[in-house]
Amino acid sequence: MTNKSGLRRFLSGRPKHIKILVALLVFAVVLGVTVFAAWHLLGGGIWRGEVSVFNAELRSPDRLVLYVSSCQGDPEVTLLHETDVDVQVKVVSSSTPLKGGLACLDSVEVQLQEPLGNRVVIDKHNGQSVNVSAVY
């Protein structure tokens, strides 16, 4: 009499469709772990995408500091469009689902072509106006 152990003992005497389901389940788990490991090791789970601008500070008439929803994500302004009535900005930053989040903010400085004056700052990520406080 042979002493079977583990999965073989569990599967012995089971219908064939149960054996196939167990094999598929084991394969799916192994595949999922492999994909997650590759994603985490190759890119660290980090990608760049648009982030919201929470508020801004006017440091001089033509120098604006934007505070964005990233956590040490190396933000950069990808759109700066100035008109007579507004300044439109779009910021991208690195993010990861395992770290950071809304608990901390990053800042990015913008040099305007003209003083801000009475113009409003528009976050093109969500279309909302940004609260700007003068600190100079």
Domain residue extents for the chain: 6-43, 47-134
Of 25 and 100, more confident: 25
Task: Tell me how far apart the alpha carbons of residues 32 and 120 are, in angstroms, rounded to a whole number.
Answer: 47
Lowest mean pLDDT among 25-34, 40-49, 85-94: 40-49
DSSP summary character for residue 71 = S
94-103 pLDDT, tens digit each: 865 555 445 6
59-75 pLDDT, tens digit each: 999 999 999 988 788 89
What percentage of the chain carries pLDDT values higher than 90?
54
Q: Is this model's pTM higher than 0.85 or not?
A: no
